[in-house]
Amino acid sequence: MARRKKEYDDDALVLAIAQGHKSCAQIARELGLSPSMVSCIASGSRRPDLQPRIEAARRAFRQQALRLAARMAAPAVIKLAKLLAPETKPTAEVQRKAAVDILRLALGGSDAPVAGLEEDPYLP
């Protein structure tokens, strides 16, 4: 009797491996595979047909991250330069607000919540 193959979504597997945000065990749980199988697929020893797709997705995610970083870098650097200018002496509140703004930019926009920084009991 032949071994039964598990049914799983190749596209979801490729994207999960390419993103690199989850461990092999997490991906395995989500797709119903074993962690060792996901690890073998990620390393290319199993399912070598998926390797070109995984590499293409990795390149796409990297390019997306670089574009996002380039877009966010200028406003963050300008804000930091204003705070660090020798003629300014920012208060702790101004520094806290700047940190919140910079983290909001880093998280994807001015409306993104920044958990834990909105109400910091240790700052005035």
- Whether the per-residue pLDDT at 11 is higher than 50: the answer is yes
Average of per-residue pLDDT across 32-46: 94
Q: What is the pLDDT of residue 16?
A: 95
Q: Is the four-CA dihedral 39, 43, 49, 55 of positive or negative sign?
A: positive
- Cβ contact 39:24 at 8 Å: yes
CA dist 17 and 42 (Å) reads 6
Q: Could you give the dihedral angle defined by the CA atoms of residues 39, 43, 48 and 52, in that order, rounded to the nearest 10 degrees?
A: 120
The domains of the chain are located at 10-68
pTM score, whole prediction: 0.57
Q: What is the pLDDT of residue 69?
A: 79
